């Protein structure tokens, strides 16, 4: 696995607390771009090239996570969720509390099924009924390690699952951020191209709103992940995306509540993929949105598109993706920006 990809996947950065992953992306973009800054909202904004048009590329760098809400007298931690997390994945997960006094390992616990009454077993387990065990015997001992308001990430992990199938923490959307870096390395277009690693996407597309207002682009492309449909219990009707079969060209999000891709941008992306023999699939999303949903409503409107990298198990401690799909997203973004610049 590429060392930079691994570093980005494993870096901490839940919504609103992206500074560590932002520093990594900032340092990498400085190698290929003429201007790089971190704005007031925490977005990393890099600029490259000159021309009449301004083109914005966006990939969010925040990950889902948790935050310490309460410390019990016995030394256990109650928490809240930041971002969309299915409560069913939480029990027994290892987490890292990013405390001011240093990282603190914890395990998410809940009442064991052996001790549950029949009526309890029938009810879905909710995160409010869970806690984090950090191995302390009292509130006082726990407070020596952590405090209310400390952020919590899933235990960092990444690697090669098999062949070109990779896995890792926070693939949504660190693989998009990695793609952003690679795009700017390759890009030579007659336009002002802005690469933006956005903040707080998982909690309301917030960084995309402020950065798009600042840049005021003529065109935009968001690079993100979307649910792959090639696992059991998902029908092709629900998702036609499959790992290793190319990048998704999204044309609508959340049944129209999110981005509805400009027809010219849709045609440009599809034609560019065909002309350059880049593997792709058309992606129609019934649920979920990307930064594109907020960018395209900026000021008087911005013609925008979305490139989706098919992924399994997003919004969980470990996701799976295919490196060829990531490469296809990079290639298509580069060619599309060149076409938009003309």
> Tokens 């795009």 map to which residue?
183
Which contacts qualify for 109-116: CB closer than 8 Å, 24 or more apart? 109/76, 109/133
On the 0-12 / 13-18 / 19+ scale of CB atoms within 10 A, 40 is exposed
Active-site annotation holder among 201, 202, 253, 331: 201
Residue whose C-alpha is closest to residue 253's, from 295, 314, 195, 206: 295
∠ CA 329-335-337 to the nearest 5 degrees? Answer: 95
> What number of CA atoms fall less than 13 Å from residue 195's CA on the CB side?
32
Q: 19-29 and 3-10 are packed helices; what angle lies between their axes, rounded to 10 degrees?
A: 150
Q: Could you tell me the sign of the dihedral formed by the alpha carbons of 15, 16, 20, 23, in that order?
A: positive
Residue 193 pairs in a beta bridge with 48, 55
Residue 138: DSSP 8-state: S
Helix/strand/coil for 340: helix
201 is catalytic: yes
On the 0-12 / 13-18 / 19+ scale of CB atoms within 10 A, 338 is middle
Q: 323-341 and 263-275 are packed helices; what angle lies between their axes, rounded to 10 degrees?
A: 120
**Phi then psi dihedrals of residue 284, to 5 deg:** -110, 120
Question: Could you check whether the bond before residue 251 is cis, i.e. omega within 30 degrees of 0?
Answer: no
Annotated active-site positions, please? 201
């Amino acid at each position: 696995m590429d060392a930079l990809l691994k570093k980005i996947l494993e870096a901490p950065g839940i919504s609103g607390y992206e500074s560590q992953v932002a520093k990594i992306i900032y340092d990498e973009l400085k190698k290929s771009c003429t201007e790089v800054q971190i704005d007031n909202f925490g977005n990393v904004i890099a600029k490259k090239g000159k021309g009449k048009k301004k083109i914005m590329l966006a990939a969010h760098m925040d990950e889902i996570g948790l935050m310490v809400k309460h410390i019990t007298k016995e030394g256990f931690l109650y928490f809240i969720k930041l971002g969309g997390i299915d409560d069913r994945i939480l029990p027994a997960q290892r987490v890292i509390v990013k405390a001011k006094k240093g990282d603190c390992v914890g395990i998410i616990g809940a009442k064991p099924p052996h001790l549950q009454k029949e009526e309890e077993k029938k009810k879905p387990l909710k995160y409010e009924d869970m806690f984090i065990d950090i191995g302390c015997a009292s509130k006082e001992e726990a407070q020596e390690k952590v405090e209310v308001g400390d952020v919590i990430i899933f235990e960092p992990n990444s690697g090669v699952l098999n062949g070109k199938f990779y896995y890792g923490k926070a693939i949504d959307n660190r693989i998009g951020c990695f793609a952003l870096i690679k795009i700017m390395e390759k890009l030579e277009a007659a336009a002002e191209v802005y690469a933006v690693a956005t903040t707080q996407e998982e909690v309301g597309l917030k960084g995309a709103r402020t950065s798009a207002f600042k840049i005021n682009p003529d065109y935009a492309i968001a690079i993100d992940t979307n649910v792959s449909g090639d696992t059991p219990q998902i029908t092709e009707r629900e998702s036609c995306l499959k790992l290793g079969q190319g990048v998704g060209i999204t044309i609508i999000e959340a049944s129209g509540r999110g981005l509805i891709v400009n027809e010219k941008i849709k045609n440009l992306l599809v034609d560019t993929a065909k002309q350059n023999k880049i593997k792709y699939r058309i992606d129609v999303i019934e649920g979920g949105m990307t930064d594109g949903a907020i960018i395209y409503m900026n000021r008087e409107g911005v013609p925008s598109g979305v490139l989706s990298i098919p992924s399994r198990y997003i919004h969980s401690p470990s996701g799976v993706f295919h490196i060829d799909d990531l490469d296809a997203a990079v290639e298509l973004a580069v060619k599309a920006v060149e076409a938009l610049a003309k």
